[in-house]
Chain A
Amino acid sequence: MTTLSLTINGQKHGPVDVRDDLSMNDFLREMLGMTGTKFGCGAAQCLSCAIIVDAPDGTSTTSPTCVAPAVNFNGKSIRTVEGHARDGELSTLQKAFIAHFAFQCGYCTAGFLNEGQVLLERLSRTPVAREALEQTITDALDGHLCRCTGYIKYHEAVRDVILADSSRYLMATK
């Protein structure tokens, strides 16, 4: 057993004793009841279980939770799909997903939302050229599986958020 403390969506959790082999996915879903993070394959292949991990330097990455032990997140700060909206106001990307009819069954949505959000934050720090944008989105989202949509509307939603605030996410054109 290991004592686990972490921050989830800005709230501190723990200290709580967890088994060393308890997955982060089960910690969220079974221990905390936070089932917005899904379980898809248990092999880090579909990424419907992906969450955001915020590093102390202000950068963020996504991480699968199905194969990662919960104890790996000790002391870390993470964000899940439940934490994107603030005071009942949906995030820009959440609104874009809705407006684009980006999802169908919705089971993969949390993973795409987290990945898309990390991409937006990365681009706000390190913008890319407009001509590199489409490939940048494809590369960012490509690990995520969706069986319903064919991915196009997810990509369009992310792209349109970026283009709507291009000075923030894209390099200035010369």
Chain B
Amino acid sequence: MGPSRREFVKWLSAGGISVSLSHLASAAGVPFAAHETLPGRGKFNPAAKGAGRVDGVAKVTGAKLYASDFRANDLPGWPQATSHAILVRANDATHVYTGLDLARLGGALKPSVVVTAADLDRIGTQVPDFYAGDLFCPIGTTPLYLGQPIALLIFEKFDAFDQARLALRDGTFIQFGEETGPVVVPDYGAFRFTRVAGPSPDKPDVYSPLQAGWVSPKKVQSAALPVWSPLAKDMPADYAKAAKYGEQIRAELAADDASMLVLDREFETQSVDPMFLEPECGLAWYDGKGGNLELLLGVQSPYEAAESIAHLLGKARAPYKPAHINAQFAHVGGGFGGRDHTPFILYVALAAVCFPGKPVRLAHDRYQQFQAGIKRHAIKMRSRIGIDRATGKIKAFAADHVLDGGGLAHFSASVAVVAATGAIGIYDIPKVDVRTVAVHSRGVSAGSMRGYGILQAMTALEVLIDEAATELKHDPIDFRRRNALPQNGRTMTGNPYIVSVRTPEILDKLEKHPIWQQRAQFKQASSDRLVGTGVACVTKDYGSGADGSLGRVELGPDGKIVIYCDHVEMGNGIGTALANRVAGHLGAIADEVSVARVDSYDVLGLVTSGDSSTIDQKTQDAAEKNPRWVPAISSPTSSSIGAHVGTHSAAEAARVIFRFGLWPAALELWRIAKTDPRAGQWASASWQDGQLTMPGLEPLALSVLAATAHARGFVTGAVAHSFSRWAWSRARFPLSGEQYRAEIDALAIRKGSGKFERINRTSVKFPPTDNNRIGTAYTSMCGTVVRVEIERATGALRIAKAYSVFECGTALVPEVVMGQAQGGFAMGVGYALLETLPPFEGGPGNGEWNLGRYLVARGSDLPLRDLEIEMLKPLVPDEAPKGMAEVVMIPIVPALINAIHDATGHRFRALPVTASLLKGVLA
């Protein structure tokens, strides 16, 4: 069984602490627009006529939305004054930490409280497993990693805090002694994915992870590249079996076979920062008497944040242990994965319990965010590919990946798995063997970030494919088409995708585009510049394979719609997507959409147990007998699941309201008897301009239908939960005398203006636990063709023209989808050409990095008027939305490297390709 892809959140209270989560509606009474419920009843809603986002007005007027906007006096019931904390972090991880010299903080600058490792035993904290490692580096030990926290300094007054942070800026007050070298820590995870296809596509695989499970060598030798001992006696039996097939594949690739082209290449990617614009921030207030701990946070994973804080303080001693934790969640100013499971929130809570009675704000500045924020993994990859020269078909692929996970494990093992299982991209390869290991280092922690390992693996692969096509003198697009995985082909874990595979269509579009057609014409180099064209086509999974979703929809007697969702708005337009998806069922855009809302589903009474990624079928079968049990309750807003998962439960709730509320109301208004055949033809009804229409019948306005549904006690509200493990859970519910079947596993309804009541499911079918052996079953494709111009004298590269084409099923908010595609392209350009962080002493862990030194793409780096992006129309009108936020940033990266090769003849095998590197090869 594989490792957990995500740390799944169990809804529990730790150590007797009760936990609640809410959104910022409690701030609604203050005289500014502090609503996370947007746009708010009666307020201008740009989304109502498709002219903007539900959060549009709030964001152009500077409303308080983000965690960093709030102070204690913004929050009802909190004390008025805000205190401030500084989290001091280690800027050395090879010498013994000997203490802090705070002499420079004399007089008014003296911190009110200093919290160090020595205080943690007294407080009685326990570190959540996911963040295993010392919360603070103890005196007398070498820091585990650069950026490891050393102390919290808390200042009651802002002026003291403000001056202290300037006084401490140079970091020289952190004292170190003897040199020890870096701390040695076991690897975070090592895995092997091997597949040998059967003799033909319709025959079973000889061996696959789907058949045999995921395997791990358990231990890896420490070396620049890991040295597996596949057949050694101490390897687990299941690993030895995979290794036997894997080594056969490698032996075939190493054989001297003239009929095969074999390329053996290395590629290296760099560490980068998500560089979301709002540095991490949190606000907390503990009453100090064993009572409430109030928190205001901005994260992608609200359930996880609350649970981790509860765990942190679950065994704390009096007076540090709160009886109740109430966490509120704000919009986030960018996420890109970097706010999913962030350890930052633990220190926000610690600051509060160590300064009781005083609200404390902990906020990174940009130096601190670079020093401590979760990074993208640097990966070293060695890939071998074997291609039959006669047919141009790829016969075998083997790769070794080494991921630098930095100081905390975070999602390193998971990223390693995703990168490995996605390593063959869009291709159909019958023999594959990928070994991967995520290692600890003294670098800043790496974890989840947009692209999640696939960005790195696709870049190495598509550059390799380009080289192979060149070697074989094949057209690069035709070579890709020849080897593309067909719709029902098997991925390298042995399963087919269960969603559309539109690679051929994308390749056709790329091939026909003028940028590609005119590549020879534009390649005519001039004396001062070189021109080249490159192409790449990639696929990226969406979903984590264990995704929970919560949604609640209410319809008022006046037809006003309110939606609640547990997913977080981080710019991805989840609020507007929810409104649009619910409108498909209820005929109108919601008046209020409340995101990051995790307090609205208690009526379902959900419980969970175990780990949905590792649970066995027998245990799941036993657990599901409890009608309130689900494999996972809620998921972080990550993995490109906003459209697919984040909106699913609300959409299903709306479907219930239509089917058992508005439809019976319509039948009454149309005077259609239940025995009339038309009474069962709800699927034939459609919404047009806010009116429900049926052929031959008078259109009915939503407001009239809603009033009737309320008056007659029909369903006017629904709360739903759903779970996806590469397929949705399905359940039956007794409703209005029938067994209603839907892709949900828990349901509550409200009739008329009554209270919500849970409807126990009568049967449920959760996706089988063997689905955990699937790498991914959900995927989206994107291709890019790009033309670059490179100045010979300076190496300056200009993107002259680019075209990206992608598919995403039904786009819930097409304008947001296009915006994400444009933004993904920009982030890809930065990754390919600009962004890099040195791994250790000269890197961001030294606390000296900021923008200016770290370059991200600006408008002038991009082809703002020469970028064409095409979103393919859904294959069928009701095709489900597919995650696209990650895949759109990927193909531009290898396409640029391939274009640079086309222009210069030099094939770069490491990122980023900066102007100075280009100048070097042109010299």
Contacts and interface: CB of A to CB of B under 8 A. Distances in A.
Interface stretch (A54-62, A82-90, A121-129, A160-168): A82-90
Contact of A105 (B61, B74, B276, B824): B276
Contact of A142 (B158, B278, B860): B860
Contacts of B68: 35, 38-39
A153 B822 contact: yes
A53 to B, nearest CB: 17
A155 B864 CA distance: 8
Contacts of B148: none
B366 interface: yes
Interface stretch (B184-192, B332-340, B412-420, B617-625): B332-340
A94 B159 CA distance: 35
Given A42-B365, A150-B819, A150-B823, A138 B860 contact: yes
A151 B366 contact: no
A94 B61 contact: yes
A35 B850 contact: no
B816 A104 contact: yes
If over half of A's interface residues share one DSSP class (helix, strand or loop), that class is named, otherwise mixed; here it is: loop
B62 A81 contact: yes
Contacts of B53: 98, 101
Given A42-B367, A105-B278, A148-B823, A35 B333 contact: no
A36 B62 contact: yes
Interface string A86-108: 00001000100111110111111
B519 to A, nearest CB: 24
A149 B823 contact: yes
B671 interface: no
Contact of B334 (A26, A113, A138, A148): A148
B570 interface: yes
B52 interface: yes
A42 B850 contact: yes
A45 B853 CA distance: 10
Given A45-B851, A145-B851, A40 B277 contact: yes
B277 A150 contact: no
B826 interface: yes
A98 to B, nearest CB: 4
A42 B366 contact: yes
Contacts of B329: none
A41 B855 CA distance: 13
A98 B46 contact: yes
B678 to A, nearest CB: 40
B859 A151 contact: yes
B179 interface: no
A171 interface: no
A84 B61 contact: yes
A35 B57 contact: no
A46 interface: yes
Interface residues of A, number: 55
A48 interface: yes
B774 to A, nearest CB: 31
A77 interface: no
Nearest to B53: A101
B864 A104 contact: no
Contacts of B815: 100-101
A37 B69 CA distance: 9
A45 B856 CA distance: 11
Q: Report the contact-size class of chain B (Cβ under 8 Å from the partner).
A: 35 or more
Given A98-B56, A107-B334, A152-B867, A147 B277 contact: yes
A34 B63 CA distance: 9
A147 B856 contact: yes
A99 B867 CA distance: 21
Interface in B797-817: 813, 815-816
B279 interface: yes
Contacts of A36: 61-63
B862 interface: yes
A84 B59 CA distance: 12
B162 interface: yes
B816 A101 contact: yes
A172 interface: no
A118 interface: no
B333 A107 contact: yes
B860 A41 contact: no
A13 interface: no
B62 A110 contact: yes
B60 A97 contact: yes
Contacts of B570: 105
A80 interface: yes
A137 to B, nearest CB: 9
Which of A104, A109, A138 has the largest number of chain B CB atoms within 10 A? A104
A135 B70 CA distance: 38
Contacts of B819: 101, 104, 148-150, 153
Given A45-B851, A145-B277, A150-B819, A106 B867 contact: no
A22 interface: yes
B82 to A, nearest CB: 8
A115 to B, nearest CB: 11
A45 B61 contact: no
Contacts of B274: 147
A90 B333 contact: no
Contacts of B820: 104, 148
B762 to A, nearest CB: 42
Contacts of A146: 277, 823
11 contacts: A33-B74, A35-B69, A43-B851, A90-B60, A94-B60, A99-B52, A101-B815, A104-B819, A147-B823, A148-B334, A148-B571
Interface of B: 46, 51-53, 55-66, 68-71, 73-74, 158-159, 162-163, 166, 274-279, 331-336, 365-367, 570-573, 813, 815-816, 818-820, 822-827, 850-852, 856, 858-860, 862, 864-865, 867
Q: Which 9 A-B pairs have the closest CB atoms?
A: A36-B62, A105-B571, A107-B333, A104-B571, A150-B822, A106-B59, A81-B62, A45-B851, A150-B826
